[in-house]
A and B are shown apart, each in its own frame.
Chain A
Amino acid sequence: MNFGNLKSKSKENILIRNGCIINPKAQEKYKADILVLDGIIKEIKKNITCESADNIQEINAEGLYVCPGFVDMHVHLREPGNEEEEDIESGAKSALRGGITSMACMPNTLPVIDSCYLVEYIKMKAREIDYNVYPVAAITKSLKGEELSEIGLLVNSGAVAFSDDGKGVQNSRLMYEAMRYGKQFDALFILHEEDDNFSNGGIVNEGYYSAILGLEGISNLSEDLMVQRDIMLSKISGARIHITHVSSARSVELIYGAKADGVNITCDTACEYLFFNDSILTNYDTNFKIKPPIRSESDRLAIVEGLRNGTIDAIASDHAPHLLLEKNKSFKEASFGSVGLETLFKASLTKLFYEENLSLEKIVALISLNPAKILNIEGGELKTGSIANISVVDIESENIYSKDSIISKSKNSSFIGQKLNGEIMYTIVNGKSGFSNS
């Protein structure tokens, strides 16, 4: 297993032979080779013959699937401020390990990404390692939910979207003004939906398991009420909204209705919500303490159905690194969140392909094309002439996910000990080898 030299600027010549190409846009797959010259996809066809064969790295992808590089639209990189948990470079490595070539990072850093110089800083750090990081800026200054950030200036600096992720915007009027103003710049709002009055003090899903375990619950209403509110505000303001980490059945239903009603809305869920239900809480493993909480089985089934019928557009990792110190505590005291870049594809494949019979093309769309379209960024497609961002995956392998295998600086994964299918074999980012699993 090795990682490419991220800081090198030189592009590579790569020929991927005999793989099965996944095209999420056309929802098709076919056998072909892909030729990358000087970092650019030159050809996608069967039996490519190449004249200048000396400096071409050849990858034998027989039996493997060749996908557009994955796009993770919800990641916490902890830089600036908490680099001991993760930084942009370590996050990028973790992402490459997971086949992810582009990611949007959330603004709840120290300081909060609510001003242009911080957006520039993230972009500069990403350029240094030639990785695609798209900064999301805060909706409100310091995520306090009191005053709007400089939305116009932040759009100009390259903020890909706006979010107060980690918190919901409690003040409905402020959220409304944010949307009306954001609409002027065609800004995208990525909304963490949480009504604090229903979640304060809560640590797990309000349900049977919170009742017997004596853990303070967070009702689905905490999410559902805010989803309902923001659908209404978006309908009136016309702003583009994206509900992130949808966890509850009723929220899926509300979003389904809003889409039918023509509201400018999309949404994602995170792997935990399609993989687990709250019965896993019984051993008080703090790696399952996340927000929104892992919900009941009926919620999980609704999430899977939402993915199947297209109500849910994307799957994100909500990669939230925490030091062991923050997790090796009582359930009440432990921090919320789990890492997920390295399991985004595997967890989705395991549950959706092997158990729920979603097609591979569909799953790849959920983690590449769709989030790229929502964020309005490059990626999600393999086409000639564009820079090579490619994930080559094996779907046959099956392993128990282990803590030791985690590349991220933080090891707080919910999937430790789970049987996961699939493996990332190669990741090509911006025309260079980023990760190779050989």
Chain B
Amino acid sequence: MNKKKDILSLDEFGVEQISELLVQTDSFAEILKRDVKKVPALRGKTIINLFFEYSTRTKVSFELAAKRLSADLINFNASSSSLNKGESEIDTIQTINSMKNDLIIIRHGDSGYINYFAKNVAVPIVNAGDGKHEHPTQALLDLYTIYKNFESLTGLKIAIVGDILNSRVARSNIKLFGKMGMDVTVVAPSMLMPENFAGFNTKFANNIDEVIGDIDVLYMLRMQFERQERKYYPSLKEYNRFLSLNLARFNSMKKNSIVMHPGPVNRGIEISGEVMDIKISNTDKIKINTQVSNGVAVRMALLYYALS
């Protein structure tokens, strides 16, 4: 079989390799602090940014990462593509494969789609999110953010709160954080959790108050209304009462703890407006914008890895 370096998930990466990636990310982050934020590392390489599902930050983040490594990047929006002219997905894939690019970044709404895609193309594939399955670059940027803040990972207590059932971010993060020796608790009501979650080896809670005073990292998930095929959660009021981060809960967190969120935040749902308003002034505690900045450096490191 071929030896192309697909990044479909972080399952194939060992602890050593991930630690190495974190260190390498430092050098890419350093580039982003320069006046001229560009290096010729991937000059002459062509990357396709193929988004079958709507995205702003991930797409722009990948685009910046590619351009800062001097690769040529082409954006492909499925909404304006031949898919709407009746071309089947397999034919679209073959068309793109025939264009002789060097790497394809893909986001798709169906779990496992990217595994299927990777089987049908010759160049490396980077998963920018597939359905409810994996979002490996998000997981690595989250890990990098935690690592930069705490300088070590082992034993850190993290709670991942919200719609676990429909979240690819949760699936990737749970695996990665667990692998790196962190102490993970998943917080969700029964209907927003897969029925058989025991295999993930995390702790469980149904209510944010059970964990809020004891954790180092509070990771709030986006309430994914667009990905919920089966809606059983009763109401926003109920969500706010048991799962949202409001000011009182924010103030009850440990001194050196941090708040994270993959974005975009639904103000007033998972995080209250009051808490969101202090994120500019309190970047030590609320790391949401730092995650976005780190995303570019992490994706530079991964693109460089996949093409070198």
- Do residues B110 and A332 form an inter-chain contact, with CB atoms below 8 A? yes
- Do residues A208 and B196 form an inter-chain contact, with CB atoms below 8 A? yes
Interface residues of A in 192-214 (CB under 8 A from B): 200-201, 206-208, 210-214
**A217-B195 CB under 8 A given contacts A284-B115, A328-B90:** yes
- Do residues B200 and A283 form an inter-chain contact, with CB atoms below 8 A? no
Interface residues of A in 156-207 (CB under 8 A from B): 200-201, 206-207
- Do residues B110 and A210 form an inter-chain contact, with CB atoms below 8 A? no
How many chain A residues touch B (Cβ–Cβ < 8 Å)? 23
A137 within 8 A of B: no
Interface residues of chain B, those whose CB is within 8 Å of chain A, are 88-90, 108, 110-113, 115-116, 130-134, 168, 171, 194-200, 229-230
Distance from B21 Cβ to chain A, minimum over Cβ atoms (Å): 22
A215 within 8 A of B: yes
Q: Which residues of A contact B195 (CB under 8 A)?
A: 206-207, 211, 217, 219
Complex CA gap A217/B166 in Å reads: 12
**A210-B112 CB under 8 A given contacts A328-B90, A332-B131:** no
A330 within 8 A of B: yes
Chain A's closest residue to B229 (CB) is A201
Distance from A207 Cβ to chain B, minimum over Cβ atoms (Å): 5
- Do residues B194 and A211 form an inter-chain contact, with CB atoms below 8 A? yes
- Do residues B111 and A215 form an inter-chain contact, with CB atoms below 8 A? yes
Complex CA gap A200/B168 in Å reads: 21
**Closest 3 pairs between A and B when the two form their complex, measured CB to CB:** A214-B132, A211-B194, A214-B133
Interface residues of A in 301-332 (CB under 8 A from B): 325, 328-332
Which residue of A211, A214, A219, A331 has the most chain B CB atoms within 10 A of its CB atom? A214
Distance from A358 Cβ to chain B, minimum over Cβ atoms (Å): 30
Q: Which residues of B contact A210 (CB under 8 A)?
A: 194, 196
Chain B's closest residue to A205 (CB) is B196
**A215-B112 CB under 8 A given contacts A207-B196, A210-B196:** yes
Q: Which residues of B contact A329 (CB under 8 A)?
A: 89-90, 116
A-B contact pairs, 14 of them (CB 8 A): A200-B229, A211-B194, A211-B200, A214-B130, A214-B132, A215-B111, A215-B133, A219-B195, A325-B88, A328-B90, A330-B110, A330-B113, A332-B110, A332-B112
Q: Which residues of B contact A207 (CB under 8 A)?
A: 195-196
Q: Which residues of B contact A219 (CB under 8 A)?
A: 195
Distance from A62 Cβ to chain B, minimum over Cβ atoms (Å): 43
Scan A230-246; emit 1 where CB is below 8 A from any B CB, else 0.
00000000000000000
Distance from A150 Cβ to chain B, minimum over Cβ atoms (Å): 37
A146 within 8 A of B: no
Complex CA gap A378/B23 in Å reads: 73
A333 within 8 A of B: yes
Complex CA gap A215/B111 in Å reads: 6
A216 within 8 A of B: yes
- Do residues B115 and A332 form an inter-chain contact, with CB atoms below 8 A? no
Chain A's closest residue to B109 (CB) is A332
Chain B's closest residue to A331 (CB) is B112
Q: Which residues of B contact A201 (CB under 8 A)?
A: 229-230
Q: Given B89, B112, B200, which contacts A213 in the complex, CB threshold below 8 Å? A: B112
- Do residues A332 and B111 form an inter-chain contact, with CB atoms below 8 A? yes
Chain B's closest residue to A211 (CB) is B194
Chain B's closest residue to A206 (CB) is B195
Complex CA gap A405/B131 in Å reads: 35
Q: Which residues of A contact B131 (CB under 8 A)?
A: 214-215, 332
Interface residues of A in 401-434 (CB under 8 A from B): none
Complex CA gap A329/B90 in Å reads: 7
**A331-B110 CB under 8 A given contacts A214-B133, A217-B195, A283-B115:** yes
Scan A324-349; emit 1 where CB is below 8 A from any B CB, else 0.
01001111110000000000000000
Q: Which residues of A contact B110 (CB under 8 A)?
A: 330-333
Scan A113-149; emit 1 where CB is below 8 A from any B CB, else 0.
0000000000000000000000000000000000000
Complex CA gap A214/B194 in Å reads: 9
**A206-B196 CB under 8 A given contacts A214-B133, A332-B131:** yes
Q: Which residues of A contact B196 (CB under 8 A)?
A: 206-208, 210-211
Q: Which residues of B contact A325 (CB under 8 A)?
A: 88
Chain B's closest residue to A203 (CB) is B111
Complex CA gap A216/B229 in Å reads: 9
Distance from A202 Cβ to chain B, minimum over Cβ atoms (Å): 9
- Do residues B116 and A214 form an inter-chain contact, with CB atoms below 8 A? no
Complex CA gap A328/B89 in Å reads: 9
Q: Which residues of A contact B115 (CB under 8 A)?
A: 283-284
Chain A's closest residue to B89 (CB) is A329
Chain A's closest residue to B168 (CB) is A214
Complex CA gap A339/B131 in Å reads: 28
**A331-B111 CB under 8 A given contacts A211-B194, A217-B195:** yes
Complex CA gap A215/B115 in Å reads: 13
Which residue of A207, A212, A219, A283 has the most chain B CB atoms within 10 A of its CB atom? A212
Complex CA gap A211/B195 in Å reads: 8
Distance from B9 Cβ to chain A, minimum over Cβ atoms (Å): 10
- Do residues A284 and B112 form an inter-chain contact, with CB atoms below 8 A? yes
Q: Which residues of B contact A333 (CB under 8 A)?
A: 89, 110
- Do residues B89 and A208 form an inter-chain contact, with CB atoms below 8 A? no
Complex CA gap A201/B131 in Å reads: 14
Q: Which residues of A contact B116 (CB under 8 A)?
A: 284, 329-331
Distance from A68 Cβ to chain B, minimum over Cβ atoms (Å): 42
Complex CA gap A298/B3 in Å reads: 37
Q: Which residues of B contact A217 (CB under 8 A)?
A: 194-195
Q: Which residues of A contact B111 (CB under 8 A)?
A: 213-215, 284, 331-332
Distance from A113 Cβ to chain B, minimum over Cβ atoms (Å): 30
Distance from A224 Cβ to chain B, minimum over Cβ atoms (Å): 14
Interface residues of A in 82-117 (CB under 8 A from B): none
- Do residues B198 and A208 form an inter-chain contact, with CB atoms below 8 A? yes
Q: Which residues of B contact A216 (CB under 8 A)?
A: 132, 229
Complex CA gap A176/B115 in Å reads: 45
Chain A's closest residue to B171 (CB) is A214
